[in-house]
Structure formats: C-alpha cells, structure tokens
Amino acid sequence: MRMNANPNGELSQIAINAPAEFEVPELLADHPQQFRESMMRYTCAIREVKTKLEVLNDDLSVRNSRNPIEMMKTRVKKPESIIEKLQRRGLPVTIESMERNLDDVAGVRVVCSFIDDIYDISRMLAHQDDIKVVAVKDYIRSPKENGYRSYHMIVEIPVFFADRKRDIRVEVQIRTIAMDFWASLEHQLKYKKQMSPEDAQEMENDLRECAETIAQTDWRMVDIRRKIEDKGIL
C-alpha cells in the first residue's frame, strides 16, 4: 500500500512544542535538571487528566445533547508557592519532599454548568480503572466557613515516559460557573490590604451572604433544567 506523500493530504501535520522552561528557585538550585524534570512530569500528568475529562465531556455531550463541562483551567504550582508551603508545614525544601508531601503541585479546575454535573463527572473520573482517588473534600455539601464551595479530588494517574512509568498526583477542583465566579472575586478582594478590620469583617459577611445566594441559585437552576427535560424540550 502506498502512503500519500503530500504533506497537505489526508494526514495533517501537527507541531509538537517543547514544554515551557521552569525557573529554578534558589533553594533548589543545586539540582536544576531534577527540578525541571519534576515540573515536566507534573505538566504531563495534567495533560493526561485533562484528556480524560475532555473525553467524558464529549461522550456526555452526545448522550445528553449538552456539554456538562463549560471550561477547564490548568496550572502547575509556582516554585515560590511550593517553597512557601513546604516551609509553612515545617518540611524539607527538597524535590523529594515536594513530590512526597504536596498533592496540589499539579492542578486542574473544571467548571460545570450544573451542580449534578459536578457529581457525575467526579464519579465517572473516579471509576476509571487507571485512576486512583487519594482524597476527596466536598465543599459543596460542607462549605468552608467563608462560603467557599467546590468539589476537590486528589487523584493519582500513571504517566508513561520514555523509559519509565510514574504515578503522579493531581488536584482536580470541580465547581459551577457561579462558584468559580465567587471564588475568583473572593480571592481578589481578600488581598485588599488597605481595609480596616471593620471593613474587612463587613466584606467577609457580604461574601458569605453572596455564597449562600449563589448556592440557592445553583440548585434552582438544576430544578429548572430537570423540569424542562421532563417536558421533553431538552
């Protein structure tokens, strides 16, 4: 069988980019290559989890005629944040300590349309036979004191490299659009250092009240969608 030699033919060309270069923090400067390799592995683990979530979204969108996932955001924790967290916990500032003790160096945030989508996606991800769920924190059913809501999972996923396989942990946060909106604004506002203690307390109370309103709205939207589905409109 003869392959088509035309580079613009049936087989499309895809450019493969090298991973971004990570700045090596001063406290880990004795092992720069080891640090960069570790960051590369976390980046690859994120890619594996993201692909799984994209496949789930595609499958559910065909089955249900709608996309449960609105968007995904990914990040590898900044070196200064890694060091600060290790120091705050009284742990050694080493690459081995980071990989052993920190579960959130690699992170994927999944933004869903409805609350029940959160639980569907988390359940389906957990049931995949190459995913190990290490920990779950359900801040939707048990919100934080400040009103924060989200569903957090620490998962461990195998990643295959050129000469080895590594099981790498990734934090997956799943929330609704409204929860993500609230969390983003809360994060910005809590760093307004010029506030007096009285103003800061008032802001916290207002944010907590907004979080309650958002939660009630999220559940009402689920009820509305289900009523529409029951009538066969969706």
Distance of alpha carbon 197 from alpha carbon 141, whole angstroms: 30
For CA atoms 194, 197, 202, 208, give the dihedral sign: positive
- Let me know if 37 is a catalytic residue: no
Sign of CA pseudo-dihedral 208, 209, 215, 221:
negative
Query: What are phi and psi for residue 110, nearest 5 degrees?
Result: -110, 125
Q: DSSP alpha helices (H): ranges in the chain? A: 32-64, 79-88, 95-101, 115-126, 177-189, 197-230
Q: Which of 37, 70, 80, 171 is catalytic?
A: 171
- Only one residue has tokens 């971004």, namely 20
Annotated catalytic residues are 171
